[in-house]
Structure formats: structure tokens, C-alpha cells
């Protein structure tokens, strides 16, 4: 594949920017100012990177609206991160997914394969599975029985799609992700320690001989259109109903989504989040890194859960939640304020403690008279 080359006018039109041109520059790459050369469009989108312009070898810069320099060409943009995305898509080199079916792939004769697909080495497609047009399955992908993969999807190496899982159109699933494993669902003959703790707040009787039975998962996983799922993320199938992921939701690496969960549209779920079974997440919810949600909680649309929050109850739409146990941000800040005030009170107490002790001693001696 040849090197991509663009004029400043072409790139300015792509990002919808305002071009102030000092000279003709052929652009073949993008980079931060200090890593740029004369054929680089340098991305000076933050105050720090703007300061680095003077030390850069680049002759052209992408900058926020209102930033301009006399000695270099600039493309000014109103929304820098959006322009950044458009540029990276221009210079992005897609994974190598040659059209056709690799001879080392194994495809059941009952499977339905669409047009213009790419099926790599050691891919296994089970009975009655369906693969949509223009979809690429990279090496070592497993597709379970009756699973359906939509059109224009990209499944990276090592993805495992369980039986009857449905993936919509234009989805990207990264290395090692697992969709459709059984849910983590069990039951004991006698009330378990967890059941006792929930109902009574204590653990009174322990049955060391009790048996633990697996509850099978009869549901599956349904992923809507334009979803991206990160590497080594796991999404379990539902017990009776399907676990569902809404359209345009973006899920980072190493996320765990339990059985029966309903994730809304356009959500952002960051790395190492754990969502226990039967949670309902509204639309456009952001869950930051390492947050954890207990089972059966509901988070309203347009809410934000901050990093490392521990969610033990439901919250209404437009909530900003932080802390463990999770509370509304305004309540968390109020608690921090109370802690500061408590520290001041302790310091005052220590300062006058001797007077209080003397007064108590006086009262005790007076009581003896």
C-alpha cells in the first residue's frame, strides 16, 4: 500500500477548518509538534502542545479556533477532538483482512456466509451460524451454533462468540473478547451465607455440607449496531432473557457484564468495570474505570459513574455518582466537608482537653462533699 499524501486544502476540507496557508506542504502523517517533520501535520490541540510549536520542525499545524501564527500554516477548528478523530481516520491503516476463506478455516455446511467476507486461518463457524456481507473474521475466531454476525463487522483474533449470540452491523470486537458464556448463577439447598446476610444482616447458621447447583443459562447475548467491544471483555448470556447491548455503545478492554444486563444506547464503559447480573443501564451512561455495580441496580440515562465507585443502589437519570458506597457527587463533597470540619473539631478538642479534664475533676470532687 502506497504512502497517503494530502494537501493542506484537502485536510482542511476534511476537518471543516479555517486554513491560513503560508506555503505548499505535502502531508503524509500526523503527530505531536515535537515529533513532527516538514511533511507532518502537527496536532497542537492543547495549551502545552501550542507552546511546543516554536520548537517544532513542522510547517503546518492543526490548532483550536483563534490560534494563529505568522511563520507557519494553520488549520483552525472549533472542536479539536472531533477534527482529531477525522484526521486519524484518514491516516488509519486497517488490519489486513484479505477477501475470501482461508483453507485452514472450518465452516459447517449449514452455515450461511455473506458476500465479500474475509475468514482467516483457524476460524471455526458452527452449525446454522450466519455471517453478514463484508464482515471480516480474523484468525482463531470461534462462532457458535446459530450465532448471527451482521454486515461490515470486524472480529479480531481470538474472539469467541457463543451459541445463538447476535451481533449487529458495523460492530468491532477486539482480541480475546467472549460473548455468550454462561452466567455466574448458582443456588444452594439451604439459605446461603449471602442470603442470610442480605435478609438478617448477620450469618447465624453455616451448613458446611450444603451443595451448590449451577443455574443454566437459556438466554443469549444480543448486540445492536455500531457497538465496539474491547479486548478480553466478557459479556455473559442471560438466564431466561437475553443480555443486551444498545446501539453505538463503546466498551473498553477487560470489562465484565453479567447475565441479564440491559445496557442502553451510546453508553461508554471504561476498562475494568464490573457489572453484576440483571442491571439496567440507561442511554448515554458513562461508567469510568474500575467502577463496580451490584446486581439488580438501575442507572438512569445520561448519568456518569466516576472511577472506582461502588454502586449498591439505583440512581435516577442525570446522576453524577462517586465513592464507595456510591452516592451523588454533591453528597460526596458534602461528606468530605464534614470530615474537614470534624478534623477541626478534634484539633480544638485536643487544645482544650486539659481544661475539660480539670472541670470534670472539679465536678467529681464537688460531688463528694
Instruction: Give the pLDDT confidence score for residue 197 in this predicted structure.
Output: 82
pLDDT digits (tens, 9 = 90+) for 33-79: 999 999 999 999 999 999 999 999 999 999 999 998 888 999 999 99
Q: What is the pLDDT of residue 244?
A: 98
Q: What is the pTM of this model?
A: 0.86
Q: Please write the tens of the pLDDT for every residue from 204-242.
A: 778 777 889 999 999 999 999 999 999 999 999 999 999
Q: What is the mean pLDDT of the chain?
A: 93
Give CA–CA dist 358/74, Å, rounded. 75
Distance CA(255)–CA(274), nearest Å, equals 6
Residues in contact with 200: Cβ distance below 8 Å, sequence separation at least 6, in sequence order: none
Whole-number Å distance between alpha carbons of 208 and 223: 41
pLDDT tens per residue across span 108-123: 999 999 999 999 999 9
Output the pLDDT for position 194.
82
259 tagged catalytic: yes
Residue 366 confidence (pLDDT) above 70: no
Cβ pair 157, 231 in contact under 8 A: no
User: Which residue did the predictor score with more confidence, 263 or 357?
Assistant: 263
Q: Are strands 320-322 and 304-305 parallel, antiparallel or unpaired?
A: parallel
Residue 338 vs residues 320, 341, 345: alpha-carbon distances, Å? 20, 5, 10
217 CB burial (10 A radius; 0-12, 13-18, 19+) = buried
CA 349 and chain centroid, separation: 47
What sign does the dihedral 311-264-84-12 (CA atoms) show?
negative
pLDDT of res. 112: 98
Q: Is 195's pLDDT higher than 60?
A: yes
Per-residue pLDDT averaged across 350-369, rounded?
76
Q: How many whole angstroms separate alpha carbon 20 and alpha carbon 51?
A: 19
Could you identify the residue written with the cell 448477620? 202
- Predicted confidence band at 2 (pLDDT cuts at 50, 70, 90)? low
Residue-wise pLDDT tens digits, 119-135: 999 999 999 999 999 99
Residue 1, pLDDT above cutoff 60: no
pLDDT at 234: 98
Predicted pLDDT at 357: 79
pLDDT category at 369 given cuts 50, 70, 90 is low
Domain boundaries, the chain: 8-91, 100-327, 334-369
Average pLDDT over residues 281-301: 98
285 exposure class (CB count in 10 Å sphere: 0-12, 13-18, 19+):
buried
pLDDT at 360: 79
pLDDT at 368: 65
For residue 191, the model assigns a pLDDT of 79
Banded pLDDT at 247 (limits 50, 70, 90): very high
Tell me which CATH homologous superfamily contains domain 8-91. Answer: MurE/MurF, N-terminal domain (3.40.1390.10)
> What is the fold of 100-327?
UDP N-Acetylglucosamine Acyltransferase; domain 1 (2.160.10)
What is the predicted pLDDT for the residue at 335? Answer: 82
> Percent of the chain scored above 70 by pLDDT?
98
CB 302 within 8 A of CB 282: yes
Backbone angles phi, psi at 34, to 5 degrees: -75, -15
Task: Give, in order, the Cα–Cα distances in Å from 154 to each of 245, 299, 315.
Answer: 17, 30, 35
Express each pLDDT in 298-345 by its tens digit: 999 999 999 999 999 999 999 999 999 999 999 988 888 887 788 888
Beta-strand pair 212-214/172-173: unpaired
pLDDT, tens digit, for every residue of 65-74? 999 888 899 9
User: What is the reported pLDDT for 290?
Assistant: 97
C-alpha separations of 123 from 100, 106, 157, 217 in Å? 12, 6, 9, 25
Which is catalytic among the residues 71, 156, 174, 259?
259
pLDDT at 303: 98
The secondary structure of the chain, three-state, reads CCCCCECHHHHHHHHCCEEECCCCCCECEEECHHHCCCCEEEECCCHHHHHHHHHCCCCEEEEECCCCCCCCEEEEECCHHHHHHHHHHHHCCCCCCCCEECCCCEECCCCEECCCCEECCCCEECCCCEECCCCEECCCCEECCCCEECCCCEECCCCEECCCCEECCCCEECCCCEEEECCCCEEECCCCHHHHHHHHCCCCCCCCCCCEEECCCCCCEEECCCCEECCCCEEECCCCCCEEECCCCEECCCCEECCCCEECCCCEECCCCEECCCCEECCCCEECCCCEECCCCEECCCCEECCCCEECCCECCCCEEECCCCEEHHHHHHHHHHHHHHHHHHHHHHHHHHHHHHHHHHHHHHHHC
Look at the alpha carbons of 262, 170, 237, 234 in this order and tell me if their dihedral is positive or negative: negative
Mean pLDDT score, 291-296 = 97
CA–CA gap between residue 38 and residue 28 (Å, rounded): 10
Strands 100-101 and 40-43 come out as unpaired
Segment 204-214, tens digit of pLDDT = 778 777 889 99
Amino acid at each position: 500500500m502506497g504512502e497517503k499524501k494530502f494537501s493542506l486544502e484537502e485536510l482542511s476540507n476534511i476537518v471543516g477548518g479555517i486554513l491560513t496557508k503560508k506555503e505548499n506542504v505535502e502531508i503524509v502523517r500526523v503527530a505531536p509538534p515535537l515529533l513532527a517533520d516538514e511533511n507532518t501535520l502537527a496536532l497542537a490541540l492543547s495549551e502545552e502542545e501550542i507552546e511546543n510549536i516554536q520548537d517544532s520542525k513542522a510547517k503546518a499545524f492543526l490548532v483550536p479556533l483563534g490560534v494563529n501564527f505568522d511563520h507557519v500554516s494553520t488549520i483552525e477548528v472549533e472542536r479539536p477532538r472531533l477534527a482529531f478523530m477525522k484526521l486519524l481516520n484518514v491516516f488509519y491503516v486497517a488490519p489486513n483482512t484479505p477477501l475470501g476463506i482461508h483453507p485452514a478455516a472450518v465452516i459447517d455446511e449449514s452455515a450461511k456466509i455473506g458476500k465479500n467476507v474475509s475468514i482467516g486461518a483457524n476460524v471455526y463457524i458452527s452449525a446454522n451460524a450466519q455471517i453478514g456481507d463484508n464482515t471480516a473474521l480474523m484468525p482463531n475466531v470461534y462462532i457458535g451454533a446459530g450465532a448471527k454476525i451482521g454486515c461490515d463487522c470486524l472480529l479480531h483474533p481470538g474472539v469467541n462468540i457463543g451459541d445463538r449470540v447476535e451481533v449487529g452491523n458495523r460492530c468491532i470486537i477486539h482480541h480475546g473478547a467472549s460473548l455468550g458464556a454462561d452466567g455466574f448463577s448458582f443456588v444452594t439447598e439451604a439459605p446461603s451465607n449471602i442470603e442470610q446476610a442480605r435478609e438478617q444482616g448477620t450469618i447465624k447458621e453455616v451448613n458446611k455440607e450444603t451443595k451448590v447447583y449451577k443455574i443454566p443459562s437459556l438466554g443469549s447475548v444480543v448486540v445492536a449496531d455500531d457497538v465496539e467491544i474491547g479486548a478480553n471483555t466478557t459479556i455473559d448470556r442471560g438466564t431466561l432473557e437475553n443480555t443486551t447491548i444498545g446501539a453505538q455503545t463503546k466498551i473498553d478492554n477487560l470489562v465484565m457484564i453479567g447475565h441479564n444486563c440491559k445496557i442502553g444506547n451510546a453508553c461508554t464503559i471504561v476498562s475494568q468495570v464490573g457489572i453484576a447480573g440483571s442491571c439496567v443501564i440507561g442511554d448515554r451512561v458513562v461508567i469510568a474505570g474500575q467502577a463496580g455495580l451490584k446486581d439488580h441496580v438501575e442507572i438512569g440515562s445520561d448519568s456518569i459513574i466516576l472511577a472506582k465507585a461502588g454502586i449498591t443502589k439505583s440512581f435516577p437519570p442525570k446522576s453524577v455518582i462517586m465513592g464507595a458506597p456510591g452516592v451523588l457527587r454533591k453528597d460526596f463533597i458534602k461528606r468530605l466537608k464534614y470530615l474537614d470540619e470534624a478534623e477541626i473539631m478534634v484539633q480544638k478538642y485536643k487544645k482544650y482537653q486539659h481544661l475539660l479534664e480539670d472541670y470534670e475533676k472539679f465536678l467529681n470532687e464537688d460531688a463528694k462533699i
